[in-house]
Amino acid sequence: MNVARRWRRQGVIWLLLAPSLAIFFLYRIVPLGWNAVLSVQKWSPLRPAEFAGLYHYEEMLLHDDVFWTSLGNTLVYMASAPIGIALALALALLVNAGLRGRTVYRAIIFVSYPLMTVAVGIIWRWLYDEKLGLINYVLIRLGLVERGIAFLDSFTWAMPAVIVAAIWQIVGFFMIIVLAGLQSIPPNLYEAAAIDGADRGQRFARITVPLLRPSLFLCLVLGIINSFTSFDLIYVMTRGGPNYATELLITYIYRAAFVLSQLDYAAALTVVLFVLLLAVTWAANRATGGEAGAVEAAE
């Protein structure tokens, strides 16, 4: 009787888990394996698959400049995450203070996150426009340049331009996370420290930063994942151009698969992207000592 009941409960629990697990199995685990298989095959919708060993990887690592360019860009894009996080931290500290109208500030700073990325891309694309763009207009009025800069067509400016747009959208989200961390810090710690005569800087360094670690780590991981997945902005703003200056791995995967119609090669790229992502996150995890439990996906 009792045994039977325990078994029933176990069954119920697994039933509760089933739908979610099924979805992750279908759209995370299986694709991962399938990718690995595709990446060692020569395959196209028009030809039957044949085993190709490391053919694609060899091509990628030894002969494909675009792969290396997009890899570099991805790293640059990733390196911009800390900037956003620092910004978010600063803002969080400011709006955390007992300030009048802080809720309003929070809302305003956060509002860019729920916006549709495609629309955001279109808006920034046009703010950056050489002739009509607000940014160029301001620069000219300020006398910083005498002719508009075609930001998104310029090898030097395209990447920074996209990064600014990306930070603009994500910073509010980071801020909220940091804010959460700040609010979970018991105030009495500060009071105690104040009594011990620690000045603000010390309090910040000794209390705030250590206790914020999980939140900051979370932001960092989100930033990293973002740099591997933010397809929409690039697709709308630059399509990876000019001359691959803003091509990220994810956009290159799309290009390889659907523009150059080499799905097998794209699969190999995907495998590399995934390994890289794991490596970086693991490194970040070690570096900050944050617990992986706080990691959240940023679909």
Partner 1 sequence: MKLVRLVVLGAVLMAAVAGCPETAAAQQKISVLTWNIPVYKEKIEGWIADFRKIHPDVQVEWLDKKGPEWGPFYQTQLVAGTAPDVIDVQGGLWLEYAANNGLVDLGPFLARDPEVKDYYNPRILPSWNYEGKQYMVPFYISKTLLFYNKTMLKEAGLTRPPQSFEELVDFARQMGKGEKSGFMTLNFDWLYWPLFAMNGVELLSPDGKKAAFNTPSAAKALDTLAKATADGAVNKVSWTGRWVEPNDAFASGTVGMYQAHAPAFFYVRGSGKWISADTLGVAQMPGGFATPNSHGFGISKSSKRPDLAWDFIKVATNEKWGYTFGTTLRNLTGAPRVDTRILEYFQKEDPLAYSVLKTQVENLDKLVGNWRQAKDAQIKEAFYTEIQAALLGRKPAAQALAEAERKVNRILQR
Partner 2 sequence: MRRTPTWPIHLVLLVVSAAMVTPLYWVLKTSITGDNIFAYPPALFPRHVHLYYYVDVWYYIPFVRFLVNSTLVSLIVVVGNVVFNAMAGYALTLAFRGKRAVVLLLLSCMMIPFQATIIPAYLITKELRLLNTHLGLALPLCSTIVCIFVFKAAFDAVPRSLIDAARIDGLGDLRILARIMLPLSTAAVATNVILAFIWSWNNFLWPLIVVRNQEMQTLPLALSTFLSYLENTTGALYAFCIMVLIPGVLVFALAQKQFVEGLTSGATKG
Closest CA to 167 of 225, 209, 210, 226: 226
The reply on whether position 123 binds partner 2 by CB under 8 A is yes
The reply on whether position 87 binds partner 1 by CB under 8 A is no
Alpha helices by DSSP H, the chain: 2-24, 30-39, 55-58, 65-79, 81-96, 102-110, 117-127, 134-141, 158-183, 187-195, 200-203, 209-229, 232-237, 249-254, 263-288
Give the C-alpha distances (Å, rounded to integers) separating 138 from 93, 130, 145, 150.
30, 12, 10, 14
The reply on whether position 267 binds partner 2 by CB under 8 A is yes
Q: Of the two residues 5 and 47, which places its CB atom closer to partner 1 in the complex?
A: 47
Q: Of the two residues 44 and 184, which places its CB atom closer to partner 1 in the complex?
A: 44
What is d(CA 209, CA 148) in angstroms, rounded to the nearest whole number? 42
| Residue 46, binding choice from partner 1, partner 2, none, Cβ under 5 to 8 Å by partner class | partner 1
Q: Which of 14, 32, 44, 99 binds partner 1 (CB under 8 A)?
A: 44
**Pair 263, 38: CB distance under 8 Å:** yes
Contacts of 180 (CB under 8 A, 6+ apart): 215
| Residue 153, binding choice from partner 1, partner 2, none, Cβ under 5 to 8 Å by partner class | partner 1
**Pair 211, 181: CB distance under 8 Å:** yes
- For residues 256-275, which are near partner 1 according to CB under 8 A? 257-261, 263
Q: Which of 181, 208, 247, 255 binds partner 2 (CB under 8 A)?
A: 181
**Pair 170, 113: CB distance under 8 Å:** yes
The reply on whether position 232 binds partner 1 by CB under 8 A is no
| Residue 293, binding choice from partner 1, partner 2, none, Cβ under 5 to 8 Å by partner class | partner 2
- For residues 128-157, which are near partner 1 according to CB under 8 A? 150, 153, 155
**Pair 118, 207: CB distance under 8 Å:** no
Nearest-approach distance from CB 45 to partner 1, in angstroms = 4
Q: Which stretch binds partner 1 (CB under 8 A): 32-40, 57-65, 180-188, 291-299?
A: 57-65
Nearest-approach distance from CB 127 to partner 1, in angstroms = 17
DSSP-derived pairing of the beta strands 47-51 and 41-44 = antiparallel
| Residue 150, binding choice from partner 2, partner 1, none, Cβ under 5 to 8 Å by partner class | partner 1
The reply on whether position 275 binds partner 2 by CB under 8 A is no
Element (H, E) at 69: helix 65-79
Q: Which residues bind partner 1 (CB under 8 A)?
A: 44-47, 59, 63, 65-66, 150, 153, 155, 239, 241-244, 254, 257-261, 263
